[in-house]
Amino acid sequence: MSSVLVCVQPARGHVGPTKPLVAALVAAGHDVAVITGARYRDAFTELGADVTVLPGEVDFDETDLNGSIPGREGLRGPKLGRFELSRFAGAMSQQLRTVDKVLACGVDVVLCDPLFAAGMALVNREDRPRVLALGFLPLTAPTPYRPPSRRPLDRVRGAVMRRFMGWMMAPAQQIAERGVHELVGVETGLCFMDWPMCSDGVLQMTCPGFEFPRTLPAPVHFIGPTTTSSASEHDLPEWWHELDGSRPVVHVTQGTVANDDLGMLVEPTIEALADEDVLVVATTCGTMPRTDPLPPNVRVADFLPYDELLPRCDVMVSNGGYGGVNHALRYGVPLVVVGASQDKPEVAARVSWSGAGLGYARPSLPVRTLRRAVREVLRRDRYRKVAGELSAQIADAPSTDDIVKLIVDR
């Protein structure tokens, strides 16, 4: 049996895909330790893992980000992005101290969140256990990456994106490089977001057809999305029987975190489809749309079980969370993705490039454009065909037993 350390940021979109791996490792008889935030201590303890909570200075509560992260309130757009990346990088020292306490007890392999900065220091050590990166974010290396194009406009866009990302990453990059030097004694020019390329492998939670093809220095294992969401976790609403296939179902979501302003995507989608012959199903994580009254073809819930909902959907409108998008692709659901924060533009680019839907690297879209996009994806079979092909690739991903062997076997 092996000893496995799992390091994961305390965010639902990171914890959700990690829990099934922890459960599988424990069920196979391996010793599993987890480092995460206080909010998710019980979630991993209940699986049989030994949990160490991050120091308060580098912990946070995703349900109260402004309250739990000093200096965040009032920031928007790119400034917020720079702040958050810098904070991730600045957590390296305290995270690594916590990691070292667990490593001192003996660890064979570390599974590490790509935004857990201690991973960047760890892979630069000569004497370290095996390190595998958890791939629940897009593969961006070299950050940012776009496939070569012969179209001049695409090349210009690529140059603009690289310049923008250089500006966005600059403070975090300086903090990360300084941290690695101080903690490990190594000078590194490695991009903060690209440290998984120095690991022993990446467990990428998608399929090959949804990632830009290129040669990478670390082995990439496409294991498919691991998150589950069943009726045992979320009760079915009284209107569930209406998802009977009598009219197309369009699901709209802003993910599990970015729901403080439903005017970014949920409310415009509701307005755009109010007169369409579709059933609009919105999940809002506790925030009610300001649209009053709701159109007759709209149903709203805080949460819904995706493994029950998505097989009944014809289109998913999303702000571009990598996990949610891949959950939709698991069931062959084509997409309209609208997102400009964090990794959302990367996800939108992959949706368009793969042909599984329409992707827009923008914070929001005009109602008219949203209506046209949903109509386009509903009307043209090619989007559902590609989504179905990606679903088949996901179905061919390694089994849970194979993933466990991949983790613990050298």
CATH number of the CATH domain containing 188:
3.40.50.2000
CA–CA separation, 184 and 144 (whole Å): 26
pLDDT at 231: 66
Residue 309: which pLDDT band, with cuts at 50, 70 and 90?
very high
CA–CA separation, 149 and 143 (whole Å): 17
Per DSSP, 13 falls in state H
Same domain, 198 and 322: no
- Structural domain total, the chain: 2
Tell me what percent of the residues of the chain surpass a pLDDT of 70.
98
Instruction: Please check the confidence at residue 178 and state whether its pLDDT lies above 90.
Output: yes
In Å, how far are 228, 263, 302, 308 from 233, measured between CA atoms?
A: 9, 27, 12, 11
Per DSSP, 39 falls in state G
In the predicted model, what is the mean pLDDT of residues 132-154? 84
Same domain, 130 and 261: no
pLDDT at 292: 80
Other beta carbons within 10 angstroms of residue 163's beta carbon come to 10
By C-alpha distance, which of 134, 107, 95 is closest to 15?
A: 134
Same domain, 209 and 258: no
In Å, how far are 146, 158, 209 from 152, measured between CA atoms?
A: 14, 10, 25
Q: What pTM did the predictor assign?
A: 0.93
pLDDT at 156: 78
CA–CA separation, 69 and 257 (whole Å): 15
pLDDT at 152: 81
Per DSSP, 52 falls in state E
* 74-120 tens-digit pLDDT: 988 889 889 999 999 999 999 999 999 999 999 999 999 999 999 99
* 47-66 tens-digit pLDDT: 999 999 999 999 999 888 88
Query: Is residue 402 included in any domain, yes or no?
Result: no
Residue 268: which pLDDT band, with cuts at 50, 70 and 90?
very high
In the predicted model, what is the mean pLDDT of residues 313-320? 96
pLDDT at 122: 97
CA–CA separation, 347 and 351 (whole Å): 6
Query: Is residue 235 included in any domain, yes or no?
Result: no
- Which residues contact residue 65 at a Cβ distance below 8 angstroms, ignoring those fewer than 6 apart? 72, 257
Q: What are the tokens at 230?
A: 């069943």
pLDDT at 144: 76
Same domain, 224 and 264: no
Asked whether 117 and 85 are in contact (CB, 8 A), the reply is: no
Query: Is residue 161 included in any domain, yes or no?
Result: yes
Q: Token match 């009254």: residue?
A: 293
- Which residues contact residue 252 at a Cβ distance below 8 angstroms, ignoring those fewer than 6 apart? 265, 266, 269, 270, 280, 281, 282, 283, 316, 317, 318
Q: What are the tokens at 156?
A: 């210009």
Same domain, 312 and 333: yes
Angle between helices 92-103 and 152-184 (to 10 degrees): 60
pLDDT at 5: 98
Residue 134: which pLDDT band, with cuts at 50, 70 and 90?
very high
Instruction: Please check the confidence at residue 256 and state whether its pLDDT lies above 80.
Output: no
Query: Is residue 169 included in any domain, yes or no?
Result: yes
CA–CA separation, 195 and 187 (whole Å): 13
In the predicted model, what is the mean pLDDT of residues 245-256? 91
CA–CA separation, 382 and 374 (whole Å): 14
Q: Is 253 helix (H, G, I), strand (E, B) or coil?
A: strand
Same domain, 205 and 249: no
Domain final residue pick, 187, 205, 228: 228
Per DSSP, 4 falls in state E
CA–CA separation, 180 and 186 (whole Å): 6
Query: Is residue 408 included in any domain, yes or no?
Result: no
pLDDT at 259: 61
Same domain, 132 and 32: yes
Instruction: Please check the confidence at residue 158 and state whether its pLDDT lies above 80.
Output: no
Same domain, 364 and 286: yes
Same domain, 246 and 196: no
The phi and psi torsions of 138 (rounded to 5 degrees) equal: -60, 145
Query: Is residue 10 included in any domain, yes or no?
Result: yes
Domain final residue pick, 228, 262, 277: 228
In the predicted model, what is the mean pLDDT of residues 122-142? 93
Same domain, 179 and 245: no
Query: Is residue 80 included in any domain, yes or no?
Result: yes
Same domain, 268 and 347: yes
* 180-237 tens-digit pLDDT: 999 999 999 888 899 999 999 999 999 999 999 999 999 999 999 999 887 667 778 9
CA–CA separation, 329 and 96 (whole Å): 35
- Which residues contact residue 84 at a Cβ distance below 8 angstroms, ignoring those fewer than 6 apart? 72, 342
Domain final residue pick, 228, 252, 268: 228
Asked whether 230 and 211 are in contact (CB, 8 A), the reply is: no
What burial letters (b/e) apply to 337-347, b meaning 16+ CB within 10 Å? bbbbbbbbbbb
Same domain, 252 and 374: yes
Query: Is residue 410 included in any domain, yes or no?
Result: no
Q: What are the tokens at 335?
A: 């997409």
What is the spatial order of strands in the sheet that 50-53 belongs to? 50-53, 31-36, 3-7, 109-112, 130-135, 202-204, 220-222
Which contiguous run of DSSP H or E holds residue 167?
Answer: helix 152-184
Asked whether 245 and 229 are in contact (CB, 8 A), the reply is: no
Return the sign of the alpha-carbon dihedral for residues 308, 310, 312, 316. Answer: positive
Q: Token match 């009610």: residue?
A: 288
- Average pLDDT, whole number, for the chain? 92
Residue 258: which pLDDT band, with cuts at 50, 70 and 90?
low
Residue 7: domain span? 3-228
In the predicted model, what is the mean pLDDT of residues 11-40? 96
Instruction: Please check the confidence at residue 260 and state whether its pLDDT lies above 80.
Output: no
Q: What are the tokens at 10?
A: 């305390």
Instruction: Please check the confidence at residue 303 and state whether its pLDDT lies above 90.
Output: no
